[in-house]
Each structure stands twice: as C-alpha cells, then as structure tokens.
Structure 1
Amino acid sequence: TLGEFILEMPRGAQVIYPKDLGAILIEADVFPGSRVVEAGTGSGALTMALLRAAGPAGRVTSYELRDEFARIAEQNIRRYLGATDALVLRRADIYAGVLPDDRPVDRLILDVPEPWRVVGHAAAALVPGGIFLCYVPTVPQVTQAVEALRTSGAFAMIETIEVLVRPWNIDGLSVRPAHRMVAHTGFLTTARRVQRQAASGSGPQDGERTDAVKPDDEEETVDEVSGFGEGEPA
C-alpha cells in the first residue's frame, strides 16, 4: 500500500505520515482533475498522495528548493507510481510566489516553515472558493499563519485541526487501548479563498477589502522536470 511504501521508502527530508495524509486530502478536498500546487516536496510522500487523488486528468506542481530532496522525491514517485504526466517538479522558492505558468490553482498545500509568507501569493493564485492548507508542527507557526490569513481579507472559513491515532488491542473479551499512540505530528490549517464584493449600487464599506490581491507576474529562472515519461530519472 502507499502507506506502507511511505514508511519504508528512502528519505531526504522528514515525511508527512499516513495519518495526516488522509486528513489533508479530505480537508483540502483534492478532487479528480484538480490543479494543485504543493510546496515542500521533501521525500515525495504528500506528492504521491496528491497525484493519486487528483488523478491523470489533474495536475500537481510541487516546489522544492533543495536538489537532493527533489531527486529523492522523483525516484520515490517513479518507483511507486511510475511515469506520470500529471506532475511538474520545480526547483523554485514558493516564498517568491506561484509562477504564472502554474496559475490559476484549485488547491495550494504547504509543508514549509513559514506558510504565512505565502498567504498573499496564495490569494493571487487560488480560484474563488479555492482552498489553502498548511501543515506545521508548532503552535507559534499556527498562530502566525492564522493571523496572516485573517488579516489578508482574502480568506474565510479558517480552521485548524490535529489528528491523533490510538490503536486498540482486541483479544476476545480483553479489549484495551495500546500503551502507545501516534499523537502529535502536526497541525493542519485550512482556509477558503473568497472575493468580497460591494453591494449593488454602492461602494466599498469602511474597512472592507474589495480588491483581489494582484499576482506578481515577474518570471523566475527555475529548472523544471515534468512528465516523467519523457526521460530517465536524474
């Protein structure tokens, strides 16, 4: 299974574990044919889950700065899923923005240390109703991310959850929880992209933001690996 493969595959960076991957797919509502931008490819665990959920008609664009992580992720993805045209791996910095070729986006999913730095770029890239999700391990990171989402004026329905898994031992009438559980690994924060409009025949209300964030159309030079069917792995 994918869950078993993730636990055993080679790693360059820490992975998001299966207990959180399932929640991410549902909380972000990754649907067949969706256009997803992921940042923080790492070892490719989340990337593989996103590819399976988005399907062959979808597109997953994954941003990773470190070449060694990108190489390991590419090898893991090839090994488990084989060649796919639904994936684009970019050696690029998501903090600098979502590249014009990758917009518009249905879902933007982050596993990076400072997701609040991406909120403005997410507002520019996401379609109305699109979903922003970030995965972070600490409370200060959650606090700063949520504050950035709230003050941006571009997001609503902001929620944070944590997934805890406790196995149970079942042996006839002897039923008890396991002595150890898979507790905290990270927080999942989601938000919905909204575009506020003034009431018909009236201008914007005091303190109300009605303009969408303008995308930064400056091009960046990045290395792109897309359509793994086109050549051999690096």
Structure 2
Amino acid sequence: LLEPSIEDLIMKVQRGTNIVYPKEIGLLLLAANIWSGRKVLEIGTGSGALTIALAFAVAPEGRVYTYDVREDFLKLARRNVERAGVSDYVEFGLKKPGEPVAQDMMDAVILDIPAPWDEIETVKSALKPGGRLVSLNPTYNQIERMAETLRKNGFVMIRSMEILCRPILAREGRTRPVQQMVAHTEFILTAAYVGDTSAHRETER
C-alpha cells in the first residue's frame, strides 16, 4: 500500500462543511508566507481540511490556532486532524463573530467565513506588522466588500484571484482534457498588513 499524500488526507476528511480544495491551498500557502515555524491564525475551521494542510506546513516548530463558531464543527475537525497525524501542531477554540482572540504577532491569518469584514479588528490585533491575510469567499460581492474594508484598514498588496485546475487524460495518441472538472469553488483574496493608516489620512487632509 502507498502512503497517502497530504492531498489524499485533505480530500478524504469527513465533511460537515464545504472544504478548501488543494488547488487553492497551494497558492494560499505561498501568498501567506506559511512555512515551518510560522504561527497561523485560522478563523472558520469547518471540517478541518485546510487546518490539516496548515499544520503540515508549519510543523514541527510552528503552530496553527483555529477557531470556529460551532462546537460540532470543532469536534469534527479535531477528529480529522488527529486522523491526519498533525494534532500536535493545532490548537482549537470556540469563537463568536467579531470576538477577539488571545493570539498576537501572527505571521498569517486565514479567514474562511461568510462575513470576513466582521473580523477586521480581530485580524489587525492578531497580525504582526507585515503579516499576511488570506480571505476565502465564493462570491464577487464578498470579495468586493472585503477588499474595500482592507483598503480602509491599513492593508496593501490586495489581490483577488480564482484558481481553475483542468485535469488532462494522458494516453498515447488520445490525450485530451477530462470531460468533468471542479471549476469555481471560491475566490482567494490576499493582502499584507502595514498598520492603521487612518491617522495618516487625517494628516493628508
């Protein structure tokens, strides 16, 4: 038997929610500067698929602090993370929308929630200067509102993108794209935090 890949572990989690797909996770890790030893805050644990990928990335010296509004999702995510063998690198917590967290000086914050703008003060308090934010949302309205919120709150390098992965069926003389693919899942919004610029804007006026 072959050892399962990290992609296998992510795709085979027991699901209580939609998950973040590997096609988004790869770019997310690069955009958020997440590697071994980093400290990452995740808001919106869901089923824990992304949590697993984050834990593999920050291990063995780093830490993932993940929060959700629902206890049943946290219980499910704990089981999935334990099954993946990375529970030593993850701390779980229950959190209401907009409620602050104990963590600060985080290298990155990941938001996978319906109203990410509700967490902007939490994000600003948790991120270190220059820290990276990634917000995952499925609709244009959400990323538009979040991008405007970030511009008003000291974030720069704001980018929005969508990842489409088209599998190819490679066979001698008959290579072609597969007939079905996972197309739109969600948009990725990335940004860097440089501090609250409201005082600077007042001076400019």
Which TM-score applies when normalising by structure 1? 0.79
1:69 aligned to which of 66, 69, 73: 73
Q: Which residue of 2 aligns with 1:177?
A: 177
Q: Post-superposition shift, 1:161?
A: 0.9
% same residue: 35
- Cα distance in 2 for residues equivalent to 1:132 and 1:193: 7
Q: Does 1:20 align with 2:20?
A: no
- Cα distance in 2 for residues equivalent to 1:107 and 1:163: 21
3-state SS of paired residue (1:174): coil
1:10 aligned to which of 14, 36, 40: 14
Q: Post-superposition shift, 1:65?
A: 1.6
User: Is the 1:39–1:94 contact (alpha carbons within 8 Å) kept by the matching residues of 2?
Assistant: no
Q: Post-superposition shift, 1:69?
A: 0.7
Question: Which amino acid counterpart does residue 143 of structure 2 have in structure 1?
Answer: V
Runs of 4+ aligned structure 1 residues displaced above 6 Å come to none
User: Is the 1:155–1:192 contact (alpha carbons within 8 Å) kept by the matching residues of 2?
Assistant: yes
Task: Label 1:72 to 1:206 Cα distance change in 2 as closer, same or farther (>3 A).
Answer: closer
Q: Which residue of 2 aligns with 1:168?
A: 168
User: Is the 2:54–2:64 contact (alpha carbons within 8 Å) kept by the matching residues of 1?
Assistant: yes
Q: How many residues align?
A: 200
Q: Which residue of 2 aligns with 1:156?
A: 156
Q: Post-superposition shift, 1:83?
A: 4.3
Alignment RMSD (CA, Å):
2.0
Q: Which residue of 1 aligns with 2:135?
A: 134
Rg (Cα) greater in structure: 1
3-state SS of paired residue (1:13): coil
Which TM-score applies when normalising by structure 2? 0.90
3-state SS of paired residue (2:152): helix
Task: Label 1:150 to 1:19 Cα distance change in 2 as closer, same or farther (>3 A).
Answer: same
Q: Which residue of 1 aligns with 2:40?
A: 36
Unaligned runs of 5+ in 2: none
